[in-house]
């Protein structure tokens, strides 16, 4: 059995001995006795391990082995102690890990009937009901569990007479309650419970992030900034507290203050990758591209995902129309991650802007080899063919792309622009009319329809398109006239606009 050798690093020698004895028993096929406390510790070891491995692909094999051992340990526990409520509770947890929530719920309700005030059972019922998308009932059980732990304390008490474990547990339950309120779009209640959770567990990063999200979603920027200013005063070594404060400043364009706050977060944890990325975005917003790039270079030193950082640096140079530097960094991104489709696509765009069509086509094809059904990548390749004068391949590529345009409105616009460039106005009209149904870019579609109808002399249709542009938004007339200046000399069109 191949399991991580460091799996015992957070456990004492007794747990290690018990687990190894259990695995020795399983390997031999024998049955041996462990007392109830020992059996619980063995099961909990595997449950803790399963949660720690998470769901990333690199740990799927180890996670599967841990699940298998968890199942075996629970089965052995049930064989030894068939009437034990503690083992039944662990069976319920195992079913949760397997996402068999209805079965877990049935066991927990049975346990609740036996032990109506058991905190672990009440909390587990809250978790299962949350997974079953019953947030109101989940909150009821979480509240009962917290009430048992609080033992009569006021919800707003400081719990000064409680131990750290109890405060942590109550704080975790408050955070879970807040999460349930978020599900119901009751952000005021959610904010209240996130703040309660943070009073008990100020290092609760989940609550820090989610509270900021609640403030942002309700547009309460001043309260957002005010809360986190006070929080970092009380907890100056909270990197996430500083980060959330910085995000508040950035949301209201106070970029210098945001940069300072991100700087504090980085000073606390030099590996705080996202703080570097957001600080760079602030420098970019201030127009300080040199510092934006320099900050991203710092980020690259503190992350394994260097490909994304190099991609972002490439974007900065492309915005400055510095294609040579942009190409350099996009290439670095593809070297770090050869399957980074967006980087290959960005390279194709840069080469095309530099009129290096062959390289542009090669990179666009590379992006498509990774994501062959991407309407964006297909459209980009078609346009590169068109720019290079290869209209035959442009037509074929557009034909391949069109079936994917239902959710890609820009595709029909690109298709229309291609045909307008070639004077194929009827083809452009057909494509625009197909894409116009239910689209959001109504103005962009109608501007092009107006041009096509104008060029083909279809006056009534032209007038309809002009009216559609005017009614779409307040500045529709100006957008249309800037797109098609010839209309300024058309008396009938100007009469419609002026009326």
pLDDT for the residue numbered 50: 74
Query: How far is the C-alpha of 310 from the C-alpha of 165, rounded, in Å?
Result: 43
pLDDT for the residue numbered 478: 92
Contact (Cβ atoms closer than 8 angstroms) between residue 413 and residue 451? no
How many CB atoms within 10 Å of residue 489?
8
Helix segments in 81-158, DSSP class H = 85-97, 101-114, 119-131, 135-150
Buried b (16+ CB within 10 A) or exposed e, 183-202: eeebbebbbbbbbbbbbbbb
How many CB atoms within 10 Å of residue 51?
12
Contact (Cβ atoms closer than 8 angstroms) between residue 318 and residue 345? no
Query: How far is the C-alpha of 146 from the C-alpha of 482, rounded, in Å?
Result: 63
* Sign of the torsion formed by the C-alpha atoms of 489, 490, 496 and 499: positive
Q: Which domains does the chain have, with CATH numbers?
A: 1-97 (no CATH), 99-218 (1.25.40.10)
pLDDT for the residue numbered 60: 43
pLDDT for the residue numbered 162: 58
The angle formed by the CA atoms of residues 147, 153 and 155, to the nearest 5 degrees, is 75
Rounded to 5 degrees, φ, ψ at 427 are: -65, -40
pLDDT for the residue numbered 219: 95
Contacts 24+ apart (CB under 8 A), 155-159: 155/196, 156/196, 158/199, 159/200
What does the block give as tokens for 86?
């503690």
Dihedral angle over CA of 316, 288, 226, 209, nearest 10? 20
Whose structure tokens read 């059980």? Answer: 141
**Assessment of whether the complete model's pTM goes beyond 0.85:** no
What does the block give as tokens for 470?
């005017």
CA-to-CA separations, 411 to 340, 373, 416, 457, 465, in angstroms, rounded:
22, 13, 9, 26, 20
Query: How far is the C-alpha of 140 from the C-alpha of 2, rounded, in Å?
Result: 42
pLDDT for the residue numbered 427: 95
Query: How far is the C-alpha of 164 from the C-alpha of 154, rounded, in Å?
Result: 17
For the chain, 499 residues long, give each residue's pLDDT as a single digit of tens.
444 557 888 888 999 999 999 999 999 988 999 999 999 999 999 988 876 554 444 444 456 677 889 999 999 999 999 999 999 999 999 999 999 999 999 999 999 999 999 999 999 999 999 999 999 999 999 999 999 988 755 545 555 555 677 889 999 999 999 999 999 999 999 999 999 999 999 999 999 999 999 999 999 999 999 999 999 999 999 999 999 999 999 999 999 999 999 999 999 999 999 999 999 999 999 999 999 999 999 999 998 889 999 999 999 999 999 999 999 999 999 999 999 999 999 999 999 999 999 999 999 999 999 999 999 999 999 999 999 999 999 999 999 999 999 889 999 999 999 999 999 999 999 999 999 888 888 999 999 999 999 999 999 999 999 999 988 777 888 999 999 999 999 999 999 988 8
Whose structure tokens read 């459209």? Answer: 379
Q: Which residues contact 349 (CB under 8 A, 6 or more apart)?
A: 318, 360, 380
Nearest to 433 by CA among 477, 392, 394, 464: 464
Contact (Cβ atoms closer than 8 angstroms) between residue 170 and residue 150? yes
Residue 304 DSSP code: S
Contacts 24+ apart (CB under 8 A), 134-137: 135/180, 135/181, 135/183, 135/184, 136/180, 136/184
Q: Which residues contact 184 (CB under 8 A, 6 or more apart)?
A: 135, 136
DSSP string of 159-228, one letter each residue:
-TTS-HHHHHHHHHHHHHHHHHHHHTT-HHHHHHHHHHHHHH-TT-HHHHHHHHHHHHHTT-HHHHHHHH
Nearest to 284 by CA among 303, 258, 248: 258
Angle separating helix axes 476-483 and 459-472, nearest 10 degrees = 130
> H or E element: which one contains 420?
helix 409-421
CA 62 centroid distance within chain: 25
pLDDT for the residue numbered 267: 97
Query: How far is the C-alpha of 493 from the C-alpha of 412, rounded, in Å?
Result: 26
Contacts 24+ apart (CB under 8 A), 265-270: 265/239, 265/240, 268/237, 268/238, 268/239, 268/242, 269/239, 270/302
């Amino acid at each position: 059995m191949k399991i991580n050798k460091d799996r015992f690093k957070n456990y004492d020698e007794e747990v290690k001995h018990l687990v190894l004895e259990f695995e020795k028993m399983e390997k031999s096929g024998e049955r041996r006795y462990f007392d109830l406390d020992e059996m619980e510790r063995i099961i909990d070891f595997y449950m803790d391990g399963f949660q720690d491995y998470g769901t990333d692909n690199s740990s799927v094999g180890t996670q599967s082995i841990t699940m298998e051992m968890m199942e075996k340990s629970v089965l052995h526990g049930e064989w030894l102690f068939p009437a034990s409520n503690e083992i039944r509770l662990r069976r319920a947890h195992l079913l949760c890990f397997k996402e068999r929530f209805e079965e877990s719920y049935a066991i927990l309700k049975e346990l609740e009937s036996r032990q109506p005030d058991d905190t672990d059972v009440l909390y587990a019922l809250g978790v299962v009901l949350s997974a079953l998308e019953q947030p109101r009932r989940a909150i009821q059980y979480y509240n009962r569990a917290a009430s048992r732990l609080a033992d009569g304390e006021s919800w707003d008490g400081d719990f000064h007479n409680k131990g750290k474990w109890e405060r942590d547990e109550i704080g975790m339950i408050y955070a879970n309650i807040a999460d349930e309120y978020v599900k119901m779009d009751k952000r005021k209640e959610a904010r209240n419970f996130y703040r309660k959770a943070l009073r008990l567990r100020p290092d609760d990063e989940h609550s820090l992030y989610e509270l900021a999200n609640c403030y942002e979603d309700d547009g309460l920027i001043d309260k957002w900034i005010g809360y986190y200013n006070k929080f970092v005063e009380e907890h100056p070594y909270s990197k996430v507290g500083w980060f959330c404060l910085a995000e508040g400043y950035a949301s209201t364009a106070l970029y210098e203050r945001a940069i300072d706050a991100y700087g504090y977060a980085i000073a606390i944890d030099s590996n705080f990758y996202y703080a570097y990325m957001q600080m760079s975005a602030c420098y970019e917003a201030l127009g300080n591209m040199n510092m934006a790039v320099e900050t991203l270079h710092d980020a690259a030193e503190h992350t394994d995902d260097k490909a994304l950082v190099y991609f972002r640096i490439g974007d900065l140079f492309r915005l400055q129309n510095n294609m040579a530097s942009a190409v350099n960094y996009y290439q670095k991104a593809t070297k770090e991650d050869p399957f980074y489709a967006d980087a290959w696509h960005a390279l194709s765009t840069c080469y095309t802007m530099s009129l290096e069509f062959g390289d542009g086509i090669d990179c666009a094809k590379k992006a498509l080899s990774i994501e062959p059904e991407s309407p964006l990548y297909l459209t980009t390749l078609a346009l590169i063919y068109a720019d290079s004068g290869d209209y035959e391949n442009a037509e074929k590529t557009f034909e391949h792309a069109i079936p994917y345009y239902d959710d890609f409105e820009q595709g029909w616009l690109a298709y229309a622009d291609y045909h307008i460039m070639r004077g194929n106005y009827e083809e452009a009209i057909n494509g625009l009319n197909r894409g116009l149904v239910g689209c959001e870019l109504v103005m962009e579609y109608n501007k092009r329809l107006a041009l096509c109808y104008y060029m083909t002399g279809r006056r009534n249709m032209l007038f309809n398109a002009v009216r559609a542009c005017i009614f779409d938004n307040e500045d529709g007339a100006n957008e249309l006239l800037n797109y098609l200046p010839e209309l300024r000399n058309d008396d009938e069109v100007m009469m419609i606009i002026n009326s």
